[in-house]
Structure 1
Amino acid sequence: MTSTSDKTMIEKRFYETLINSEDAGHPVQVLGEMYAKEQKKEMAELSSIRFAQGEIYFHCRDYETAIFKWENILDEKMMWAKKNSGDAYYELGLLAAAEEIYKSIDSENPSLLTEASLQLFSLYIEENRMENATAVIKQIMEVNPDYPNAAEIARTFFEEQQDWGNAVELAAKEGIRSESVHWFELLTSYIDRGITGGGAPEYYSNVLFSLYHLDLNRFEQMAVALWNTYKETDSYFAWLHTINSLFMNVETDSPHIWRELSRCYEEAYLELISGKYLVKEIQGMIPAVLAQWLKVADKKHELAAAAAVLSWNERFAETMEAITIQDAEFKIMNAAEAEDGFEERIQLFQAVAEWAASHGLDVDRRLEWFVSQLADLNERKLLIAGSEQSGKTSVIHSVLQEQILGEAATGAVMVKDGDVFGVREISETEVREREEFLQEEMPIIRGHRETCLEVQLASDFLHRNKLAFIDTPGLIGSSAKNELFSYIHAADGLLFVLDATAPFTDTECEALLQVQKQAPNLPIHFLLNKMDALYSGTEVQKLAEETTVRVRQYFPNARVFPFSAARRSTEQLGDFSQFLNTVFVSRDRKSSRTDQLLYFIRAIVSELFQRRIDAENNLTNLIEWNEQVSTKLNGAIHQVEDLEKEKAKSIKAGFAESKEEVKYDITSKIPEILRGCTELVKEDSDFRNIHVELNKEMNERIQDYVRGTALPKLYRSLQNWIEASSDEFKHSQQFLWDMAEGFNNLFGEQRITLDCDFKVLDDWRRDADRMTNGIHMEEMNILLRHTPSQLLLKGAGKLLGVLPQNNSMLYNSYKKFLENEDYQEQAISFTTKFLRQFEMFEKAIERDVAMFFRNPAQELERTLQQSGEKITEGKAALHEMNINPESYKDPLTLFEVRLRQFEWMNVQ
């Protein structure tokens, strides 16, 4: 606040203190006369008159004169005069001079300093120097926050500049300082508008603490606004810590009803345990959230908060304080009856299903189907059961007036009303339409025990009574393994069909007691079938009464309806309809199905837990199995390699034996053939050219031998070799087929064949034909070489052959030469050339044998590679599961905590 004197100085009305109301004339004239009079005094005091004159001149817009007057003020008004001079310069537009003067003012008067700062603030705004203006106004609020209108000036400036950070800070500080709800409301409006800038939640601790002690309603409004701001942000946990800490430090026993904060705490708890977070991320936060929720919970949320505390403490012992647990137990026992919570259970199921889908897991379709049937509130699900002798199927056919159910039953059938006939089969893995079933081809054959058939057909009875029948296979014994027990949690009531000729046997009683134990809230009533076996109405009534008495010993609320499946009358159906509507309709369907939903949700969660265990075991087993397979495959590959080497060696040796045999034959035969040419030499031969004739004849005889004898023999030998090789290949192929069969039995499918390439034999047969037919043999130079003996003979023949008397000598010489010549060199030379292509063929045998085994070898290698890849993939998946098991386990654990919360809510 400013004093009266300061206000006079601020408004430049000091001159009014010098001028009396009786003074006549203009203030300028009055002050001028006063100045003249005072000047005449020996000790003249002119500063006040000059200061006042400056004010008058300022008001008259004579700023230069005002400045002149204020420059000579030397008393206590000197700083005010300086500030006024700055104002005059400001009005003259000399802003730099004005700024210098304002910044030079040095005074202990807070009003003077604040007024100078405000003028400086306005100057900066006019010059668009907003950073300077911001600094000045923040300084004013720091030094003199109570100065009139300063806070409003600052608020208006910050809002116009959209400087929301400083606007929020101003509202927060002023709210705490002034304890004015105006500033808290302003801050709440900023938060609601989302313009707070996302500062740290701890910033608002003091604000909330102050507002809590000032106004609980406005406190709740601001807390909820902040909650909505930080929700789904990285600062959410910090906000929860902030609000929890605040409630821990204040008394919460006020009569105020925290409706909105109670709702926020519930939403926070459900968000934290929704499966988005790991347990380690929220375990330190949840106890505080639950403790504070329990403190602020209104009547609508009190039971849920208490149940949440107890369910969390059950799963995570010693994390909740004892006093919180005691408070929760007290509230559980004294809470009003819980709302049905049907929608919340459906939402929990959807959350579990969505989580499973996001992890590539399929929820058991049967359990999912059960939930979908419970979620449909438009019709009651009536479970119909009975022993195999009860005539249960006949009862259903009589009511529906349709023959749709087969007598032999291993699976259940649900019959529903519908415009279009259809059959769906629900198994663990799928829901599929059974298009092979047509209505005109009834009866329907039931599915397997692990499946359920859903039949939709037009039924007046089902439509009028809004019913669906669930028919289970006939009861055999009292074991809980009967199909009946799989469906008791999916039904709104159980109608048990009794055989009038032997009603309510001990076995039936024992089975139904087990049903009651597992589903204590399931209404059980009875239909006494085969009443047509009795002859009079009196007997019918008597048996019905006797059966009712016996039944009610174990099921006090049960009623018995006499029925005859053989009697298809409108009257009986009407009575039966009335009976069903009397004994089953009174039950609140939505409320009763709430617990049933929990049963199936828990079954789904348990199944998903087991799937994790199964998945890990399956991966471990798969890795071990593939490692064993890989070992076997490696062994098989080595066996094939050894077999290939063995066959290549054996087959090559067989070919070499045939080749060596023909080589020996030719090498041995050629010298004999050549020596036999001696007979061609006669005494009357022309010894001048006989060597040419002999050479030609020798070549012809050699070729005749090769074509006529050696090659046919070689061809037969090669054919025998090919056949022998074929036998070895066949044995090898059979061995590999046996190997493939062993592996396929191991794989459980026809994965490998290991077929060899028998085309190799065809290639060999073709090559054998080519090598032994149409072979070209070059003519050898046998007697036309330049050896000494041959040169001598040829020379002698040319020289002496012209004289007949020399023939006898030449004859003897040639004959002796031909008979004594070795011919091994010629034989070897010929054989070498002749066998050249066979030797090339021999070198390719190993390659050909490798081609025969190539496909099996490659297929085994490929299968080994696939097995190795599966090992690698399996180990990687197992490693991922082992290094981060909580990513799977924690969400399911939290789903179980939520389930347990619902169960606690049903305790009272």
Structure 2
Amino acid sequence: MINENQLIEKTFYKNYVQDQDGSPLHILGHLYFNEQNQDGDYDLSYIRFAQGELYYSSQDYETAIFKWENIDNELEAWAKMNIGDAYCKLQLLSAAEDMYTSIITDDETLKSEVALKLFTLYCDRQKIDNAYETIHTALLINPDYPNVTRKAREFYEEQQDHQNAVMLAVSECIRTSKEEWYMPLITYVKNRQTLNFSPEYFLPVLQAIYENNKRLFIQLLEAVWFSFKGQSAYLEWLKALNELIPTLPTLTIEDEKEWDSIVSIYENTFMELTDGTYYLRELHHVIPEFISAWLTLSTSKNGLHPSATVLAWNEIFPGTVRQAITSKAESIIFETENDRNSLSDSLQLFHMIHKWANSHSLDLNQKTKWWVEEVMNRELWHHFLLLGQEGSGKTTFVQSLLGDKVYSGTTSSFVVLKDSDELRYEKMTEYTQQTFYSKNDLSRMLNEEPDALYQVFQPSIILHEQKCAIIDTPTIGSISSIREDIFDTLLLVDGVFYLVDAMDPLTDQDYDLLHQIKNYAPNVKVNFILNKVDFVASDSDAEALIMEMKAKIASIYPHAEVLPYSSLHPFNQQFNQLSRFIDTNFPYDAKEKEERRTAKVLTLIRKMIADLLQKRVDMEKGYIHSIQWNEEILSRLTAFSHKVSDFQSERVESIGKAYRSLLSACRSELEETIPKLLKDSSEQLKEDSDFKTIHLTLNEYMNNKIKEYVEENVLPTIVNQLETWVSASHEELLQNQSFLVEMSDTFNDIYQEDKLSLTCQFAILDDWKRDIDRMTARIFYENENILLKNKPTQMLLKGAGKLLGAFNQNNQVLYQQYKKYIENEPYAETTKAISDKLFMPFELFEKGLKKDIESFFTGPISEVKETIEEAEQNIEDGKEGLSNMKANPEVFYDPLKLFEVNLLQQEFMLQAHKDYTKTY
């Protein structure tokens, strides 16, 4: 039987030469000769095949090819492969390819060898498509054949073909279960070369590796998990994971530390899923099985978080988690070890909500953020709330502690008193924070902004020694908001100092209030300060009063203590007594304080979620109010805009009409007077006049007469009339401006800001005055050819004068004719020419009046138009915002619901921690 390894390695010739002395070629030549000379049939193919191998090893490739070409037995296909190898050595690559592809055989080993050789040849010739086809063929023939999968992986990696590289690694992992394939696959996943694959694609390989190597299973699971994180298929991966975990056979978790990393990923992933990025409709099909698997994979050391998560989710979304899982969570939550940093968890949740709120342009209450900072302030051991009815002496007590009168009378605000070397004050509203240094400013702000929270930083020995802050409060009365704030603050402080007037101790009103405090905050310590004991007759009376108070409050606070105090006595006499009172009744325990801090942060988170929910309601109401308000103001603005436009049109008409009337009157008077003046010029004619030049003399006289009239009568009259016109126009425009000012005040009151000024351009009046001065200053009378024209009558008179003027006897006739002509001539053409020249500048001025008057109202019209556009945009924005809120309520409500799950989860863990601690 032929050894295929010898054929592959070209050592078939050793079957003939082993155990023989001499040259292999000589031995084979001798055998060839003997075989050829035998009688009967003989087959030289085997010897030729062996000779070809020897010639090939001696690099005599042509002779080797000659030998292999003459093989016609079972080794013919192998010989063809060897010929292809020889062609490759001779760099006859095309011939080699043709030879390899011509081989037809059923021998899988030969098929694999030929495929690998063709693959190498195609790679060398950069025939990549052929190389792909050939390596795929080799993998189909026999993936176990030496070097086939290795060469395929190297080829895919060289081509950066992540798709085929991953598919090969996955198939080989499942087929061989060898670590040498799992590590490349994990590398591909970590390098994010698997993102084009669906999450379900990895389930079979994960199942396969789990059964063989749990350590590599965890590594691959982590790698796939992180590769899908942040991708669109992330939730699909988690669904696939939910399907995978229950199918893992004999899933054992205890004592396998490797699983801790997976459990940690589950925890971090749950926080990511519930940070407000996803909607509930996306998570309802993922979370229940996800947290079930998380609980399944957890141990007694890390089972608190998943069990609390299961219970919290099922509490918020009843029935979504399988009963068996919730029962398991209930059974282990109080039995698991609890070494978690609950405070860190609660702060993480707070910052997560804060980040979400910021991303949605929702401002968190500044006071809430301040309280979180206060809770985390490790320099302060205690926050005490100072309560008391009107007349209890709270204000004098505060003055006694600080040694200074910070403010007079009972405060209407919450005032936090802190020790500090630097004297300063801070004010916090819902959205702002301000630092200032004047006590007068504090007093003013306390009166003007009682809803703000104030801090007083001032040296105080008791606050310094006890590392505490005291919160002075308004008197609890009928104002519901104050009561609500005080009761909310009860959940955040470490204790209450309840001040009682020694002259009227513990009234029914006090007793009712204490009952309410106990019911609302049962875990808050309340101790009493019996103030104004200096009014009590004796120490024994004071002691009796204290015993009476204790007896009365025993049913509410059986362990409460009462401290007698006088704000009038020097503080240094009472310092030690007050300090012991605090040390005794409010001892500092670091571990307990940490739990209280966590509980307070969770309380603040619950308030923050409630505030955000209220903001959603307020936002919707705000949109509705904005739409209604802007629609109303738009209606007013539109009507007002029409009114201003009417003013503009009216003033254009009235002022223009007045101007035209003025010019018309002046022109009429001019045109009526000029003919009279010209006709009166006949008086200059005498019988002895020189009629040869009389027309020149008269023409000059007439022009002088008209010029005198224009300069002394016409122009002054026009100037006076124009000044009157400007004044009258100013009065009309001023009336309009007064109305606009009234309307701007009205609209500004509505807007609660200086929205509209509606100032008109009175500068046009100055422009008119300047233009009138310039026009009248530049008007000069130009001599007119009154008697020097070429009219027939004038030509006859001038001709007759020149011809007959030399004869005295004809003067009488010329005199009569000239006089008759001058006195009877209408002078219409001359009058019109003079009038047109004089009034042309005024007519040009008139053409610009409309534009000037319109420009007077341009500012108000533009302002109103812009305000109208703003109102229209506000209405559009409001409707769009309201529509979005109603169309997509999940954008707001879903994250808050998920935050509530996280909050409840942490509250369960905190309660479990307390109960677990009590058992030891």
Q: Could you state the TM-score of these two structures normalised by the residue count of structure 2?
A: 0.80
Q: Do the aligned partners of residues 552 and 791 (structure 1) sit closer, same or farther apart at CA in structure 2, a change above 3 Å counting?
A: same
Q: Do the aligned partners of residues 409 and 87 (structure 1) sit closer, same or farther apart at CA in structure 2, a change above 3 Å counting?
A: same
Equivalenced residue count is 898
Residue in structure 1 matched with residue 432 of structure 2 by the alignment: 430
Residue in structure 1 matched with residue 599 of structure 2 by the alignment: 595
Residue in structure 2 matched with residue 354 of structure 1 by the alignment: 355
Match for 1:724 among 721, 728, 735? Answer: 728
Q: Do the aligned partners of residues 863 and 323 (structure 1) sit closer, same or farther apart at CA in structure 2, a change above 3 Å counting?
A: farther
The one-letter code of the counterpart of 2:238 is: L
Counterpart CA distance in 2 for 1:786 and 1:498 is 122
What's the CA shift for 1:276?
Answer: 2.7
Residue in structure 1 matched with residue 202 of structure 2 by the alignment: 204
Q: Do the aligned partners of residues 47 and 863 (structure 1) sit closer, same or farther apart at CA in structure 2, a change above 3 Å counting?
A: same
Residue in structure 2 matched with residue 222 of structure 1 by the alignment: 220
1:32-71 matched pairs, under 5 angstroms: none
Match for 1:640 among 623, 644, 649? Answer: 644
The one-letter code of the counterpart of 1:754 is: L
What's the CA shift for 1:271?
Answer: 0.9
Residue in structure 2 matched with residue 288 of structure 1 by the alignment: 289
What's the CA shift for 1:612?
Answer: 4.3
Counterpart CA distance in 2 for 1:590 and 1:7 is 75
More off after superposition, 733-742 vs 801-810: 801-810
Counterpart CA distance in 1 for 2:191 and 2:405 is 66
Superposed CA deviations along residues 231-271 of structure 1, whole A, max 9, x for unmatched, are: 33444333323221112434676454643322222211111
Superposed CA deviations along residues 42-63 of structure 1, whole A, max 9, x for unmatched, are: 7899899969987997999899
1:832-871 matched pairs, under 5 angstroms: 833-834=834-835, 836-838=837-839, 840-842=841-843, 844-845=845-846, 847-848=848-849, 850-869=851-870, 871=872
Superposed CA deviations along residues 571-600 of structure 1, whole A, max 9, x for unmatched, are: 742343233233322471221222321232
Counterpart CA distance in 1 for 2:749 and 2:524 is 50
Q: Do the aligned partners of residues 233 and 844 (structure 1) sit closer, same or farther apart at CA in structure 2, a change above 3 Å counting?
A: same
What's the CA shift for 1:553?
Answer: 0.7
Which residues of structure 2 form unaligned runs of 5+?
A: 913-920
What's the CA shift for 1:330?
Answer: 5.4
Secondary structure in structure 1 of the residue aligned to 2:731: helix
Counterpart CA distance in 1 for 2:124 and 2:677 is 134
Superposed CA deviations along residues 374-412 of structure 1, whole A, max 9, x for unmatched, are: 122332222222223222233344344454454341222
Match for 2:754 among 742, 745, 750? Answer: 750
Superposed CA deviations along residues 116-151 of structure 1, whole A, max 9, x for unmatched, are: 777888999999999988877776665455668987
What's the CA shift for 1:791?
Answer: 6.3
Residue in structure 2 matched with residue 363 of structure 1 by the alignment: 364
Secondary structure in structure 2 of the residue aligned to 1:588: helix
Q: Do the aligned partners of residues 123 and 536 (structure 1) sit closer, same or farther apart at CA in structure 2, a change above 3 Å counting?
A: same
Q: Do the aligned partners of residues 104 and 557 (structure 1) sit closer, same or farther apart at CA in structure 2, a change above 3 Å counting?
A: farther
Counterpart CA distance in 2 for 1:68 and 1:679 is 152
Q: Do the aligned partners of residues 162 and 217 (structure 1) sit closer, same or farther apart at CA in structure 2, a change above 3 Å counting?
A: same
1:26-105 matched pairs, under 5 angstroms: 78=75
More off after superposition, 310-319 vs 92-101: 92-101
What's the CA shift for 1:721?
Answer: 3.9
What's the CA shift for 1:204?
Answer: 2.2
Residue in structure 1 matched with residue 566 of structure 2 by the alignment: 564
| Residue 448, structure 1, aligned to residue 452, structure 2 | no
| Residue 496, structure 1, aligned to residue 473, structure 2 | no
Secondary structure in structure 1 of the residue aligned to 2:491: helix
Q: Is the 8 A contact 2:35 2:44 kept in 1?
A: no
What's the CA shift for 1:491?
Answer: 1.4
The one-letter code of the counterpart of 1:593 is: R
What's the CA shift for 1:434?
Answer: 0.9
Q: Is the 8 A contact 2:13 2:54 kept in 1?
A: no
More off after superposition, 61-70 vs 415-424: 61-70
Residue in structure 2 matched with residue 531 of structure 1 by the alignment: 533
Residue in structure 2 matched with residue 240 of structure 1 by the alignment: 238
Q: Is the 8 A contact 1:688 1:801 kept in 2?
A: yes
1:371-770 matched pairs, under 5 angstroms: 371-379=372-380, 380-437=382-439, 448-476=449-477, 481-482=482-483, 483-568=485-570, 572-584=574-586, 585-586=588-589, 588-670=592-674, 673=677, 716-762=720-766, 764=768
Q: Do the aligned partners of residues 841 and 626 (structure 1) sit closer, same or farther apart at CA in structure 2, a change above 3 Å counting?
A: farther
Q: Is the 8 A contact 1:403 1:442 kept in 2?
A: no
What's the CA shift for 1:504?
Answer: 2.4
Secondary structure in structure 2 of the residue aligned to 1:385: strand
1:160-199 matched pairs, under 5 angstroms: 172-179=170-177, 182-183=179-180, 186=183, 190=187, 194=191, 197-198=194-195
What's the CA shift for 1:906?
Answer: 4.9
Q: Is the 8 A contact 1:427 1:450 kept in 2?
A: yes
The one-letter code of the counterpart of 2:221 is: A
Counterpart CA distance in 2 for 1:472 and 1:353 is 28
Which residues of structure 1 form unaligned runs of 5+?
A: none
Counterpart CA distance in 1 for 2:376 and 2:71 is 91
Secondary structure in structure 2 of the residue aligned to 1:425: strand
Superposed CA deviations along residues 155-208 of structure 1, whole A, max 9, x for unmatched, are: 89999999887776565444433455x457646764686486556233321121
Q: Is the 8 A contact 1:393 1:407 kept in 2?
A: yes
Counterpart CA distance in 1 for 2:154 and 2:612 is 59
What's the CA shift for 1:756?
Answer: 3.5
More off after superposition, 383-392 vs 134-143: 134-143
Residue in structure 1 matched with residue 273 of structure 2 by the alignment: 272
What's the CA shift for 1:775?
Answer: 5.8
Counterpart CA distance in 2 for 1:55 and 1:365 is 93
Superposed CA deviations along residues 791-820 of structure 1, whole A, max 9, x for unmatched, are: 6666676676666666667666666666xx
Counterpart CA distance in 2 for 1:264 and 1:524 is 44
Q: Do the aligned partners of residues 162 and 788 (structure 1) sit closer, same or farther apart at CA in structure 2, a change above 3 Å counting?
A: closer
Counterpart CA distance in 2 for 1:15 and 1:785 is 144
The one-letter code of the counterpart of 1:205 is: L
Counterpart CA distance in 1 for 2:527 and 2:355 is 38
What's the CA shift for 1:868?
Answer: 0.9
| Residue 341, structure 1, aligned to residue 345, structure 2 | no
Residue in structure 1 matched with residue 917 of structure 2 by the alignment: none
What's the CA shift for 1:471?
Answer: 1.9
What's the CA shift for 1:634?
Answer: 4.0
Superposed CA deviations along residues 670-690 of structure 1, whole A, max 9, x for unmatched, are: 555556566655666666666
Q: Is the 8 A contact 1:416 1:455 kept in 2?
A: yes
1:146-165 matched pairs, under 5 angstroms: none
Q: Is the 8 A contact 2:304 2:909 kept in 1?
A: yes
Q: Is the 8 A contact 2:186 2:219 kept in 1?
A: no
Q: Do the aligned partners of residues 833 and 759 (structure 1) sit closer, same or farther apart at CA in structure 2, a change above 3 Å counting?
A: farther
Counterpart CA distance in 1 for 2:139 and 2:793 is 139
What's the CA shift for 1:489?
Answer: 3.2
Q: Do the aligned partners of residues 253 and 334 (structure 1) sit closer, same or farther apart at CA in structure 2, a change above 3 Å counting?
A: farther
Secondary structure in structure 1 of the residue aligned to 2:567: coil
Q: Do the aligned partners of residues 553 and 4 (structure 1) sit closer, same or farther apart at CA in structure 2, a change above 3 Å counting?
A: farther
More off after superposition, 565-574 vs 87-96: 87-96
Counterpart CA distance in 1 for 2:49 and 2:723 is 143
Q: Do the aligned partners of residues 532 and 14 (structure 1) sit closer, same or farther apart at CA in structure 2, a change above 3 Å counting?
A: same
Counterpart CA distance in 2 for 1:385 and 1:594 is 25
Q: Do the aligned partners of residues 448 and 787 (structure 1) sit closer, same or farther apart at CA in structure 2, a change above 3 Å counting?
A: closer
The one-letter code of the counterpart of 1:859 is: P
Secondary structure in structure 1 of the residue aligned to 2:904: helix
The one-letter code of the counterpart of 1:231 is: K
More off after superposition, 369-378 vs 337-346: 337-346
Q: Do the aligned partners of residues 847 and 508 (structure 1) sit closer, same or farther apart at CA in structure 2, a change above 3 Å counting?
A: farther
The one-letter code of the counterpart of 2:492 is: A
Q: Do the aligned partners of residues 832 and 261 (structure 1) sit closer, same or farther apart at CA in structure 2, a change above 3 Å counting?
A: same
What's the RMSD between the two structures over aligned residues?
Answer: 5.1
Q: Do the aligned partners of residues 336 and 708 (structure 1) sit closer, same or farther apart at CA in structure 2, a change above 3 Å counting?
A: same
